[in-house]
Amino acid sequence: MKKAVCLLSGGLDSATCLALARRDGYVCYALSFDYGQRHRVELDAAARVATSLGAERHLVAHIGLNAFGGSALTADLAVPKARSLDAISHGIPVTYVPARNTIFLSFALAWAEVLESSDIFIGVNALDYSGYPDCRPEFIEAYERMANLATKAGVEGRTRVHIHTPLIQLSKAQIVKLAAELGVPFGVTHSCYDPGPDGRPCGQCDSCLLRRKGFEEAGIEDR
Ligand code: ZN
């Protein structure tokens, strides 16, 4: 049985990525992070998604990136609301968390080495999304090269790490359709950056707006 470490935020993209890994026959070890994010409610969603999609294990690593701040997700900075899709698609927004995917992938790499797994899944998306630098194909390719230099298993030739990014060139609408085909439980996923005290999405942050656009374009109801 092939093992894979799957990064799981609790959002739609990472849930779809986990479902793809399961469909492709991987035994999945889901990894989430409590990094001091304002939308910690996503961790409850991640736990439900992991159970629902049959992850072998689900771990939450505690890494307080809010000690550094520097992002609207980890510091007392306002989350941008009601931006136009044109504005969302230009520049790197204040919701960018410094070095987040580099850090997340490093934790995934460590767990993969212990599990003797060569496969890491991450649901990054470079197309229909805010312009985060650590979601781009060139970042992933460079990270994969580094990963194979960085580990004992890599140097000894026991594993050749592959970072799977099956969603990287898909539009949000394509991801929604794929998720529907794979039976991703939309209702338990959480996308909002700035949910209310009851965990309900704000409907106005970039993540909420992109999610709505994706469902509308896919012609599927977001339950
Ligand atoms: Zn929102």
Tokens of 137: 């194909």
As a whole number, mean pLDDT of residues 1-15 equals 96
pLDDT, residue 33, reads 98
pLDDT, residue 128, reads 62
Residue-wise pLDDT tens digits, 93-146: 999 999 999 999 999 999 999 999 999 999 999 876 667 899 999 999 999 999
Residue-wise pLDDT tens digits, 25-36: 999 999 999 999
Helices (H), 116-205: 137-150, 152-155, 172-182
pLDDT, residue 132, reads 86
How far, in Å, CA of 157 to CA of 20, rounded?
27
pLDDT, residue 129, reads 64
What does pLDDT average to over the chain?
95
On the question of pLDDT at 193 being above 70, the answer is yes
Residue-wise pLDDT tens digits, 208-220: 999 999 999 999 9
How far is ligand 1, taken at its centre, from the CA of residue 159, in Å?
40
pLDDT, residue 90, reads 87
Residue-wise pLDDT tens digits, 165-192: 999 999 999 999 999 999 999 999 999 9
How far is ligand 1, taken at its centre, from the CA of residue 79, in Å?
9
How far is ligand 1, taken at its centre, from the CA of residue 137, in Å?
26
Domain boundaries, the chain: 3-218
Backbone angles phi, psi at 6, to 5 degrees: -115, 115
- The CA distances from residue 134 to 64, 101, 105, 108, 142, in Å, are 19, 6, 10, 15, 11
On the question of pLDDT at 69 being above 80, the answer is yes
pLDDT, residue 158, reads 86
How far is ligand 1, taken at its centre, from the CA of residue 142, in Å?
31
Q: Which CATH superfamily is domain 3-218 in?
A: HUPs (3.40.50.620)
pLDDT, residue 97, reads 94
Higher pLDDT, 223 or 90: 90
How far is ligand 1, taken at its centre, from the CA of residue 206, in Å?
7
- The CA distances from residue 130 to 49, 83, 84, 119, 219, in Å, are 24, 11, 12, 26, 22
